[in-house]
Homo-oligomer: A and B are copies of this chain.
Amino acid sequence: MRFIISGSVPGTSTATSEIHDWLTENAATQQLDVQRVPFSAMDSWSFQTDDGRLAHDSGRFFSIEGLHVRTNFGWRRDWIQPIIVQPEIGFLGLIVKEFDGVLHLLVQAKAEPGNINAVQLSPTVQATRSNYTGVHRGSKVRFLEYFNGTRPKRTLVDVLQSEQGAWFLRKRNRNVIVEVFDDLPDHPNFRWLTLPQLRAMLHCDNVVNMDLRTVLACIPTVVGGSQADEVLASLPRGFPAQLLHSFIGGGTSVHNMNTLLSWISDVRTRRELVQRTRPLQDIERSGWIRTDNAIEHEEKKYFDVFGVTVRTTDREVNSWMQPLLSPANCGLLALLVKDIGGTFHALVQLRTEAGGVDVAELAPTVHCQPENYAGAPEEDRPSYVDYVINAPRKQIRYDGFHSEEGGRFYRSENRYMLIEVPDDFGDSDTPDHRWMTFDQITYLIGHSHYANIQLRSLVAIAAAVYTGNIA
């Protein structure tokens, strides 16, 4: 409940520019120098003799392996691809604390080698197990003591969520929000923001990083009866008010939860997804080329993998080398939203991804890298992609660019869109899509592996759209 109270208290009018200034300062002090290096020049990383995987000598962090995928979904049914294998579960941990009755969130300005802006807003703690157990012998992770049980806290959110299934094999992170009661020391890389201030930053491109977006998506939207009316009344009529109304479960939904869960089970049963790790050299059978400089696809589709050396002065370790994955193209992630029977519904699909934790997870209406479909038969183009690309400007309620985890992905930028569709759009479902309220989506985000990370980003964005309009 206090989240939305916090959400409805606007920050001071200068806050946004102050945050930008602070990020700019941090970009200067946290400068990362990132240079590509051949695989053979990477310290501590090598292609293993048994199965060819590119791995760290410690056996920790992550590795690049071959994955054989067999599925009955989509255009391609059987292939072998490189994939990031990272079985460790890390923390994406956000500390919140009440100041003068308003919840504030402790965010970090964090540089990552793959970032589009040098630094982005990230959760208080963003650490792999290898980080926080000190495999790299660096300094300890700041504020970790509020997540590992050392210091007292109240846990508000704590759920394992999946990450990019196209690039990671069954990767998950722990999304956790804790309320603390200690006075925390100030640090130039950290700052307390209110939820509206933080959500306001989602209206800027490439400022709120993926890890923070997914944690924000896990915040429950809970408002008691009269308070809901009060907040709703404070909103101008139209899109933002209808959005909040859908988040708080104010109206009726097309499907009840039982029916939606049954649909999810049905699709997960009918679809096949057989994942087998394979020696890395087997990726060549599916058109992947390995040189000392990169692993890339012969058609220049999908992504490349290459090595970098990173130097910094402000980090647990001062320099390191690692592989990064660089997507070939910008992704398109669009959620269609429609008023059905007086309640906003979003059109979500169940999408199957090569490395998915489950056979299918809920995803945005359109979720693709359009260029990867060059050469695909017309009927295999993703549903609604042409609608989204050609949507009239007046229907577009949000249109921005955000990047994915800069610790693994090199300048991976996606276009995120919310599009309101008119009455005549039709509200029947396809076998792969269902109309759901935001209340239903956020309920499912309370449990693991229902919603993929791109849909979770759009949920965080949708909440930023209504918050931005609270008077």
Contact = CB atoms under 8 A, between A and B. Distances in A.
A18 interface: no
Interface of A: 87-89, 91, 129, 149, 155-156, 158-160, 174, 176, 258-259, 261-262, 265-266, 268-269, 272-274, 276-277, 358-359, 446-449
A259 B91 contact: no
A307 B89 CA distance: 39
Contacts of A261: 158-159, 446
Given A276-B277, A277-B277, A447-B447, A269 B91 contact: yes
Given A176-B265, A265-B174, A447-B447, A87 B273 contact: yes
A112 to B, nearest CB: 21
A-B pairs, top 9 by smallest CB distance, nearest first, are A158-B262, A155-B262, A158-B265, A89-B269, A87-B274, A174-B269, A447-B447, A174-B265, A160-B265
Interface of A is mostly: mixed
Given A89-B268, A277-B277, A448-B449, 20 more contacts: A87-B273, A87-B274, A88-B272, A89-B269, A89-B359, A129-B269, A149-B266, A155-B258, A155-B262, A156-B258, A158-B262, A158-B265, A159-B265, A160-B269, A174-B265, A174-B268, A174-B269, A176-B265, A261-B446, A358-B448
15 contacts: A87-B272, A88-B272, A89-B268, A89-B269, A129-B269, A155-B258, A155-B262, A156-B258, A160-B265, A160-B268, A160-B269, A174-B269, A261-B446, A358-B448, A448-B449
Contacts of A273: 87
A437 to B, nearest CB: 19
A471 B268 CA distance: 41
Query: How many copies altogether?
Result: 2
Nearest to A274: B87
Contacts of A88: 272
A149 B265 CA distance: 13
A73 to B, nearest CB: 14
A74 B371 CA distance: 48
A89 to B, nearest CB: 5
Contacts of A259: 155
A436 to B, nearest CB: 16
Contacts of A155: 258-259, 262
